[in-house]
Chain A
Amino acid sequence: MRYLPHTDESRKDMLNAIGAKHIDELYTHVPSETLMSEPLSSLPSHMGEMQVESHIKALAEKNTPTSKLPSFLGGGCYHHHIPASVDHLIQRGEFLTTYTPYQPEVSQGTLTYVYEFQNYIARLTGMDIANASMYDGATAVTEAALMAKRLTKRSNVIVYPCVHPDYIDVLKSYSTHSNGTVELGTEPDENTACVIIQSPNYYGLVFDLKELREKCDAVGAKLVVAVTEIVSLGLLPAPEVADIVAGEAQSIGVPMSYGGPHLGFFACKKQYMRQMPGRLCGKTVDADGKEGFVLTLNTREQHIRRDKATSNICTNQGLCALAFSIHLSLLGETGFKTLAQLNHTQACKLADALESIDGVTLKTESFFNEVTASFPISTELLKDELSKHSIIGGIPVGKTLHSMVFCATELTTDEDIAKLKAAIETILSEHSTNGGLSHAV
């Protein structure tokens, strides 16, 4: 086995050195009745690099990725271009094959990029501080709700129904196993720990957050703003009225990878620092007075406070945070804003195209890079029909299933949009002549 350096001979020598005759002598603590009596015959034996590669390549080839067809899928995971330097740099073994920086003297590389990541997230969100990343957007927003409960000592959470459905589902799963409720879209009161809103929301709509801030202040609830498309922060004003801004940063530097690993982020006001979940990196000096970085405020964490910890998170998304930091550094202030504008402009063109189709109504007047449109046919049908035209449509939404959320990014070309428009027109005309036309409500 190429990953194992020992030969049978060196194994024997080492056993000899220890004073054991057989490897089984090292398993004497393991009660014999718990040891497997037979080897795992139902699984294959080891394979060479060629065989493994061809097996897994064959699986990859059974998929049709969004890079192969025009795609309008968004909904919390976005297809953006990643500059070549990003993957080159994160694949350097000195980044890729390191662990959590427990020994800061030999981990300044990791600690510095984590500190840069914290800075970037804080600045993008308009918050004072940020942590070193969370698993993904859904769990980051859930951690925000848990933090709001700790801060307010209240148990109920209100979430707007236009928040990403996966995020709402995760909030609900966590809440059934801890005290408190998760309610959809009701008015906050004295028992409300926080109100969670997403902007732009799942349907693409952009919110003005000031009114909600006032509602929260009136009853002492925290305001949590969820962001699933971090590129939007290059065009929209920072959600700085929030107490906590949490969400997904996959769009910058991290491939879609069928849903993971992605990059949760978490930022908040400074006064909540000691209640924040997850890892934090702080600046300090070394014995020579040189600037350096360490993991800090560890007393909030599970390995010290154990059952009193602010969260059970240990492993985070280090490498994805690095990819994000490299990509954002390459973009810089102007590049990031330009990227946001590119996304928005393509979405405007997409909206124009959809609006111009007979029978199609645009539902989202103010948007960033996602728009919802309603159709005179079921969008499940529309999706299948688009697929026959070699187009990956948007996400069908709503109870009546006559609406679809479309997303445009900088990778969406004008031709893609023209192709989509033509296909929808053909599909609608076919289905109206077939008598399949029914009007959306």
Chain B
Amino acid sequence: MPFETELLIHQSVKGRYGVDLPTPEVRNRTGLNARSEIGLPEVSEPQVVRHYTRLSHQNYSIDGNFYPLGSCTMKHNPRLNEKLARLEGFANLHPLQSEEHSQGALELIYQLTDWLKKLSGLPGVTLDPAAGAHGELTGMMMIRKAHEAKGNPRKVVLVPDSAHGTNPATAATCKYTIVTIKTGDDGMVDMDAFNSAIETHGEDIAAFMLTNPSTCGLFEPNVKVIADTLHSIGAYFYCDGANFNAIVGKVKPGDIGVDVMQINLHKTFSTPHGGGGPGSGPVMVTEELVPYLPIPYVEKKEDGTFTLIKENETTIGRIKGFHGQFGMMIRALAYMMSHGADGLQKVAEDAVLNANYILHNLKDDFHVPYPGPCMHECLLTHKKQKENGVTTMDIAKALLDAGFHPMTVYFPLVVDGAMLIEPTETESRETLDGFIEAMKTIAKRAREGDADAFHAQPQTTFRKRLDETRAARKPVLVEEK
């Protein structure tokens, strides 16, 4: 059972410390008086170790159990990758070291770039972006620059209403006006809405940002038509590739008319999220957009050595300090090599198989907004349970008591009471069966009409239902000093 622990700030006892440092000679050439009270705790090493170990016990993790968060892609995190990222030759490498001292790092970047080119079918790659959304921004900056080079940056970006929120936020950060395209009853882009937006905004359209496979767990069947239409008016097709794990080794985005796509390395290629990050969001582009790639990037010289290109006339510029999330690149390359081309294709197939297995087994107990088969995630709603006063949030909290992390709730926004379940390929049939059983039991309880009991859940977790309204109304972000 998890134990309570107080914030370290409140455990402080003056005179304790957790690091033995040499006593420095006191000098001051800063030109200013030395710092006064900061307000940091004073605690010993055992206290710190116990505090954080206790905190770890208050967490749910993929190491411990199934984590079916749709769109977030929580799969097994191999420890080999961790070991390799910690090699001294990588961990202690300073980003401003000479190329001679960093040939191994540059070569690793080059090799990862090569894998991504071959998997995506797109010839240009940047590994600089720090996360998926940062990759989106990088991609949209490139699109803007390409339009500018043709004399008109254009004004409008089309985004489906089912898109991840980062898509419209990214386009807005790039100062584009967002025109929302509605999703049809089948969960796909409504082609009438798409065509009418094309007609209305025509050559004002800079790009269409489409997540494919979509956040409804579906592959967009009209991708080719969409790509052709966009290209016919000189607009670009941006594909949010956060869900690439459903099609890796099966579909090459470059072959289907995608101009720009980010891949969330921390999802598809399994780098641990550690409570929300770090991530890495490489962007792949067509030949036409290569001139606009951000700096720096790696090139192979004729003598076989590697060099970092830091200047280029047409680039969008620099989008992050130094050269991207290098530690994540090591992990991703190790993951790709462990799977190989053959394994990555199996990744996609097993991810799709697992999602369909869940969908098939739950389709009688829960409302399925879009008929299957689905891709790597399946979408259910609370429609049947709501008749008995049980909502998506109640189902999520009941799952916690059943020992499972809930699925993604209330997303995508276009589906009322959405529950997006992504099992990933690293789950066994036994695990899926356990989850299905738990969901069926919840559906049965809801049918029996015990809504009040649901509202009181979870009961078995370290904390019971938390008052989120209070947190937002009277925000407390730090302790009083």
Which stretch of A28-36, A215-223, A419-427 is in the interface?
A: A28-36
Which B residues are CB-close (under 8 A) to A172? 317
**Residue contacts A-B, CB under 8 angstroms, 28 given:** A3-B78, A4-B350, A11-B353, A20-B373, A29-B373, A40-B118, A44-B340, A47-B337, A60-B87, A63-B101, A65-B88, A77-B322, A103-B405, A110-B276, A113-B55, A139-B320, A260-B95, A281-B477, A286-B464, A286-B467, A302-B166, A309-B172, A312-B166, A313-B134, A314-B164, A344-B28, A383-B98, A387-B100
Q: Are A97 and B339 in contact (CB under 8 A)?
A: no
A363 close to B (CB within 8 Å):
no
Which A residues are CB-close (under 8 A) to B165? 301-306, 309, 314
Q: Closest CB-CB distance, A122 to chain B, in whole Å?
A: 5
Q: Which residue of B lies closest to A134 (CB)?
A: B130
A144 close to B (CB within 8 Å):
no
Q: Are B102 and A258 in contact (CB under 8 A)?
A: yes
Q: Are A61 and B92 in contact (CB under 8 A)?
A: no
Q: Which residue of B lies closest to A43 (CB)?
A: B341
User: Contacts A110-B275, A344-B30 given: A135-B322 contact, CB under 8 Å?
Assistant: no
Interface hits, A85-134 → B, CB 8 Å: 85, 87-110, 112-116, 118-120, 122-124, 128-130, 132-133
Q: What 0/1 pattern do residues 330 to 355 of A give for CB contact below 8 A with B? A: 11111111111110110110010000
- Complex Cα spacing A109 to B7, Å: 11
Q: Are B475 and A392 in contact (CB under 8 A)?
A: no
Give 18 new A-B contacts, CB below 8 A, not counting A85-B45, A284-B468: A35-B250, A36-B251, A52-B84, A65-B88, A87-B86, A110-B276, A129-B477, A135-B278, A139-B130, A236-B35, A256-B95, A259-B322, A315-B133, A330-B45, A332-B42, A333-B12, A335-B18, A410-B21
Q: Are B252 and A36 in contact (CB under 8 A)?
A: yes
- Complex Cα spacing A139 to B135, Å: 13
Q: What 0/1 pattern do residues 84 to 124 of B give for CB contact below 8 A with A? A: 11111111111111101111110110000001001100000
Interface hits, A8-42 → B, CB 8 Å: 10-11, 13-15, 17-20, 23, 25-31, 33-36, 39-42
Which B residues are CB-close (under 8 A) to A35? 250-251
A1 close to B (CB within 8 Å):
yes
Q: Are A123 and B39 in contact (CB under 8 A)?
A: yes
Q: Which residue of B lies closest to A19 (CB)?
A: B360
Q: Closest CB-CB distance, B160 to chain A, in whole Å?
A: 12
A186 close to B (CB within 8 Å):
no
Chain A interface residue number, banded: 35 or more
Which B residues are CB-close (under 8 A) to A188? none
From B16, B34, B345, B429, contact of A39 by CB (8 A) = B345
Q: Which residue of B lies closest to A384 (CB)?
A: B98
User: Contacts A109-B55, A116-B9 given: A99-B276 contact, CB under 8 Å?
Assistant: yes
A432 close to B (CB within 8 Å):
no
Q: Closest CB-CB distance, A294 to chain B, in whole Å?
A: 5
Q: Are A36 and B255 in contact (CB under 8 A)?
A: yes
Q: Are B21 and A302 in contact (CB under 8 A)?
A: no
Tally of A-B residue pairs with Cβ under 8 A? 699
From B96, B107, B326, B476, contact of A283 by CB (8 A) = B476
User: Contacts A56-B334, A235-B34, A312-B166 given: A173-B353 contact, CB under 8 Å?
Assistant: no
Which B residues are CB-close (under 8 A) to A79? 92, 94
From A42, A116, A306, contact of B168 by CB (8 A) = A306
Interface hits, B372-410 → A, CB 8 Å: 373, 375, 396-397, 400, 405-406, 408
Q: Are A95 and B247 in contact (CB under 8 A)?
A: no
Q: What 0/1 pattern do residues 272 to 303 of A give for CB contact below 8 A with B? A: 01000001111111111010111011110111
Which B residues are CB-close (under 8 A) to A113? 52, 55, 275
B175 close to A (CB within 8 Å):
yes
- Complex Cα spacing A238 to B26, Å: 19
Q: Closest CB-CB distance, A204 to chain B, in whole Å?
A: 10
Q: Are A109 and B17 in contact (CB under 8 A)?
A: no
From B18, B56, B328, contact of A261 by CB (8 A) = B328
User: Contacts A40-B118, A312-B136 given: A282-B224 contact, CB under 8 Å?
Assistant: no
- Complex Cα spacing A68 to B275, Å: 33
Interface hits, B403-421 → A, CB 8 Å: 405-406, 408, 411
User: Contacts A45-B341, A329-B41 given: A259-B95 contact, CB under 8 Å?
Assistant: yes
Q: Closest CB-CB distance, B408 to chain A, in whole Å?
A: 8
User: Contacts A45-B341, A99-B273 given: A233-B35 contact, CB under 8 Å?
Assistant: yes
Q: Are B341 and A319 in contact (CB under 8 A)?
A: no
Interface hits, B63-95 → A, CB 8 Å: 63-64, 67, 69, 72, 74, 76-78, 80, 82-95
Q: Are B93 and A18 in contact (CB under 8 A)?
A: no
Q: Closest CB-CB distance, A237 to chain B, in whole Å?
A: 6
Which B residues are CB-close (under 8 A) to A261? 130, 277-278, 280, 325-328
From A31, A299, A318, A366, contact of B273 by CB (8 A) = A318
Q: Which residue of B lies closest to A285 (CB)?
A: B467
User: Contacts A53-B84, A259-B323 given: A59-B43 contact, CB under 8 Å?
Assistant: no
Which B residues are CB-close (under 8 A) to A402? none
A177 close to B (CB within 8 Å):
yes
- Complex Cα spacing A30 to B246, Å: 11
A359 close to B (CB within 8 Å):
no
Q: Are B249 and A105 in contact (CB under 8 A)?
A: no
Q: Closest CB-CB distance, B350 to chain A, in whole Å?
A: 6
Which A residues are CB-close (under 8 A) to B88? 60, 65, 67
Which A residues are CB-close (under 8 A) to B16? 332
Q: Are A44 and B341 in contact (CB under 8 A)?
A: yes
Q: Are A73 and B266 in contact (CB under 8 A)?
A: no
Which B residues are CB-close (under 8 A) to A94? 56-57, 59-61, 63-64
